[in-house]
Amino acid sequence: MAALASAWLPPMLGCGAEDAALVGALTAMIERQTAESFARQIAALLKRPDARPALAGVAVPILLISAARDNWSPVSQHEAMRALAPSARLVAIPEAGHMAPIEAPKAIADALRVWLAG
């Protein structure tokens, strides 16, 4: 799992890749898992049903939060979801990667606060 963290984590992060404490904490989180649990997570991601058709039928406000440096789930993917959901609002967090809630918690909280107030 240490080798996985070393190879997999850097491209997951935006500016957080420069934060040794954050990288250390995330590495420790990965190392607490097993190769089998990681394989199950990947299998679940690959086998999950396509939820895009359901987006058009959502009648409540939707907030999509993406990170500009997320190579795994890019802003373009969220733009495509927003196009399918007329009530959706998209916020991109500029310096964060896939771990945006950990890399940029204030930006995430601010986006949620504005959306909830709106």
User: Model confidence over 62-85: pLDDT tens digits?
Assistant: 999 999 999 889 999 999 999 999
Cα within 13 Å of Cα(37), Cβ side:
7
Q: Residue 57: its pLDDT value, please?
A: 87
Contact, 44 vs 69, CB < 8 A? no
> Biggest alpha carbon distance in the chain?
44
Confidence of residue 17 (pLDDT cuts 50, 70, 90): confident
User: Model confidence over 95-110: pLDDT tens digits?
Assistant: 999 999 999 999 999 9
> pTM (2 decimals)?
0.82
